[in-house]
Structure 1
Amino acid sequence: MSYCVNPTCPHPENALQDLVCAACGHALRLRDRYRASRPLGKGGFGATFLAADEGLPGNPSCVIKQLRPNTQSASVLKMARELFEREATTLGRIGNHPQIPRLLDYFEEQSNFYLVQEYVEGETLKQEYERRGVFNETEIRKVLTEILPALGFMHNNGVIHRDIKPANIIRRRQDGQLVLIDFGAVSSQVNKTTIDEDDEDPSGLLTNFAIGTPGFAPPEQMAMRPVFSSDIYATAMCCMYLMTGRSPKDFPHDPFTGEINWKSQVQVSENLKAVFDKMLQQAVTQRFRSAAEVLAAIDTKPAQAPDAGAMQSISSGSQYQSATQPKPSPPNSRIQAGVRSSTANTDFGSGMFTTADNTRSQAKTGDLKGGRRVIVEYGHGKRNFTNQELSKVSLGSASLAGIVMSRSKLVEADLCHADLTNASFQGANMAQAKLSGTNLRDAKMQRVILFKADLGSASLIQADLREANLQSAYMSKTDLTGANLSGANLKGAYMTQANLRGTNLCGADLKGAKVSDEQLAVAKTNWATIRPDGSKRLF
């Protein structure tokens, strides 16, 4: 279906092949390439649409954001345009991050302004809560350790998001990674004195987009004086919502100080309680100053382990570090690299482990215990781990060059940024594994299952991936120089900006894959290669 983006169109739905709206005569392809298919949302500021980019092979999905203030006030329109342009400028500056949608285009057409962004398919944390219910402590810790690096990246680029809330954090379906969306309020410096005194703002545009969402935004932001830690406060309030289902405005508060009485509403460990206590300080000077500080506090074990009552909501993956043992590695590197880590108490890079002897977590095969065992045994010279059950194992940042894990089960394993040079995973089941930034140069991976795996920015130079199952895998910016993917299943794989120079794709199935003709032109293909559009060609 083609959807007309004209705000006054009485019947916006049209046939897919139509070029002009039958109801209003408005062109159905913006800039002669973007075709909207359905609305995603709208408000006083504008509207967003799911669209297809018909200017690229395979018509990849994207999101069109249209400036659409529902008032004709010249001053409000001017302010809305400034906010819109600021969002475009900001996304252009900070969009090179896996947890921030990339800005693809920005243009004006028929007196309307449009942003075109990378489409992130998935559900927001708000939708996830509504579907499955409250989050436990382990899940909340994972949310924090995933979203804080993205916040730190933004803040390091001088940007304050200003509208952090569950509806603006989406879990990408392709790899399960949390992504920040809706940058319409970033770094805005709008207040009432900037518009004419006799102008009104009936749409609530300035309030909604210049200040943020009441309840999630801290006092200084509501007073038009946001700081970086304003996003930290809002992140904590997101967690409160996920753990209770209550809007921040519904929490009891101290009538004298204005502080939210959240401690009586949630049951978490003393460590996490102390972290939230500092994240939610009303006074900016008493709050964490950076995302790095929050991550460091999450990684630090409290003086005493939490009591049994507080531990009831903590699953087996949560561990605490002994106060007498070495401190965890600093989180700054995780922020800069955007690496997610839910196992900060284990230093996989050095092979040293700082898990407290009195931890109450029940380690099972496939969790941290499996990761520790592999690294310890590898350190003692063992290389062959064939036929192991290691689902959900955490080996992130480990140095395991030459390890043999053929036919092992590594479903949902975390191998991000590990060094697996010349490793062997032949016939292994690595469905939905996380391998972003991992070094797999010269790895032997024939017939490996990497269904829906995250291989973003991984190095697979000269890797042997013959007949591998990479269906729906995320391979953006993956380096596949000289890799052998003959006969591989790459249906629906996301290969935008992947390096395919010299890659053997003979007999590979690329139907529905997000890959350009320019990329394929430098790869080796033959008559048996199935193109993204489902066709075969002679080369």
Structure 2
Amino acid sequence: MRKPRFDAGQYSLLQECSKAKDFTRWNAWYAVHLKETMYLRSSDAYGAHLEGGDLAYWFLEGADLRFANLKNADLSYSYLKSADLSYANLAGTNLWRAYLSKAILDGANPDAAVYDGAGKIKCDPAQVSRLKEGVSSWNAWYENEISNKPDDTRVYGAYLEEASFMGMDLSGVNLSYAHLEGADLRHVNFSGADLTHAHLEGADMWKADLSGADLRFAELGGANMAGAKKVNTLF
């Protein structure tokens, strides 16, 4: 009997490890799984069965996904740093703004993937307006907001993607974990700001003032930081 292309049990285990940000269990199990199904390499039974799966925004750092069938899966915004995607099937996989630094793609087919925003831009106009009203009121609201949310990358942090804050004084602002992908941050004063774990992929930070700002663990892939002031900035 042909094995289903999508395996709910495998998906559940991968999801648990993603939430825990620890792939020790998955990687140990998967190494055995690949060894046991080695003789099935040319069939649909080999590798992880995640075709069409929703992995958007998942934390997948260091995950072993060799030979995985990820055809038509949604990995947009997923964090795949150092993940092993050797020989994975990425045909139709959505890799829109997926973070692939140090990921292993030997034998995979990333050229067959798609890079479609798919209407998932994380921008909340109400939050944009709130931030523009002032840093002090924003910080008081945001501290309470993020402290009462679960550690789930789908809901965590402010949703400010592709918003424009050009020229604003955001000194001392708390934007930890905020989604600022593609945002217009030119000439913004971020001195003393908390940008830890912020998503700044593709953001335009031309001539921004980052003096004393904390950008540790921030995602900066494709960000334009030309001319930015980086005195005592933490990376």
TM-score (norm 2): 0.50
Cα deviations by residue, 1:235-262 (Å, 9 ceiling, x for unpaired): xxxxxxxxxxxxxxxxxxxxxxxxxxxx
Matched, 1:513 2:222: no
- C-alpha distance in 2 between matches for 1:50 and 1:340: 19
Distance 1:114 1:473, change over 3 A: same
Distance 1:483 1:51, change over 3 A: closer
Cα deviations by residue, 1:418-475 (Å, 9 ceiling, x for unpaired): 6x89x53241134259xxxxxxxxxxxxxxxxx9211111111110111111111111
Matched, 1:37 2:63: yes
Matched, 1:530 2:201: no
Aligned residue number for residue 80 of structure 2: 51
Matched, 1:425 2:134: yes
- C-alpha distance in 1 between matches for 2:71 and 2:133: 53
1:40–1:50 contact (8 Å) kept in structure 2: no
Q: Which amino acid aligns with 2:229?
A: K
Aligned-pair distance for 1:522?
3.0
2:184–2:205 contact (8 Å) kept in structure 1: yes
1:62–1:117 contact (8 Å) kept in structure 2: no
2:62–2:84 contact (8 Å) kept in structure 1: no
Kindly indicate which of the two structures has a greater share of residues assigned to strand.
1
Distance 1:513 1:7, change over 3 A: same
Q: Which amino acid aligns with 1:498?
A: A
- C-alpha distance in 2 between matches for 1:415 and 1:108: 37
Cα deviations by residue, 1:20-68 (Å, 9 ceiling, x for unpaired): xxxxxxxxxxxxxxx8424599669799997315xxxxxxx8988812x
Aligned residue number for residue 35 of structure 2: 10
Instruction: Output aligned runs, 1:20-35, within 5 Å.
Output: none
Aligned residue number for residue 195 of structure 2: 490
1:64–1:116 contact (8 Å) kept in structure 2: no
- C-alpha distance in 1 between matches for 2:34 and 2:210: 46
Q: Which amino acid aligns with 2:63?
A: S
Distance 1:499 1:64, change over 3 A: farther
Alignment counterpart, residue 474 of structure 1, candidates 170, 179, 192: 179
2:209–2:228 contact (8 Å) kept in structure 1: yes
Cα deviations by residue, 1:313-347 (Å, 9 ceiling, x for unpaired): xxxxxxxxxxxxxxxxxxxxxxxxx7989xxxxxx
1:491–1:511 contact (8 Å) kept in structure 2: yes
Instruction: Provide the aligned length of Structure 1 versus Structure 2.
Output: 165
SS of the residue aligned with 2:229?
coil
Cα deviations by residue, 1:485-535 (Å, 9 ceiling, x for unpaired): 100011100100111001000000111001149633431111x2101xxxx
Aligned residue number for residue 6 of structure 2: none
Q: Which has the higher contact order (CA 8 A, sep 6+)?
A: 2
Q: Which amino acid aligns with 1:490?
A: L
Distance 1:468 1:340, change over 3 A: closer
TM-score (norm 1): 0.25
Cα deviations by residue, 1:152-193 (Å, 9 ceiling, x for unpaired): x6xxxxxxxxxxxxxxxxxxxxxxxxx5xxxxxxxxxxxxxx
Matched, 1:66 2:88: yes
Q: Which amino acid aligns with 1:466?
A: S
RMSD: 5.0
- C-alpha distance in 1 between matches for 2:194 and 2:33: 45
Distance 1:115 1:38, change over 3 A: farther
Q: Which amino acid aligns with 2:136?
A: G
Aligned-pair distance for 1:6?
8.1
Matched, 1:454 2:159: yes
Query: For structure 1, which runs of at least 5 residues remain unmatched after alignment?
Result: 12-34, 54-60, 68-83, 96-100, 119-148, 154-178, 180-337, 342-395, 397-413, 434-450, 532-539
- C-alpha distance in 2 between matches for 1:517 and 1:415: 24
Cα deviations by residue, 1:92-117 (Å, 9 ceiling, x for unpaired): xxx7xxxxx44778x9744x545798
Distance 1:415 1:9, change over 3 A: closer
- C-alpha distance in 2 between matches for 1:507 and 1:525: 8
Instruction: Output aligned runs, 1:341-356, within 5 Å.
Output: none
- C-alpha distance in 1 between matches for 2:70 and 2:203: 38
Query: For structure 2, which runs of at least 5 residues remain unmatched after alignment?
Result: 1-22, 37-60, 147-155
- C-alpha distance in 2 between matches for 1:519 and 1:490: 16
Distance 1:114 1:501, change over 3 A: closer
Q: Which amino acid aligns with 2:162?
A: S
Q: Which amino acid aligns with 1:10?
A: K
SS of the residue aligned with 2:88?
strand
Q: Which amino acid aligns with 1:529?
A: T
Q: Which amino acid aligns with 2:88?
A: Q
Aligned residue number for residue 143 of structure 1: none
For the pair shown, which has the larger CA radius of gyration, 1 or 2?
1
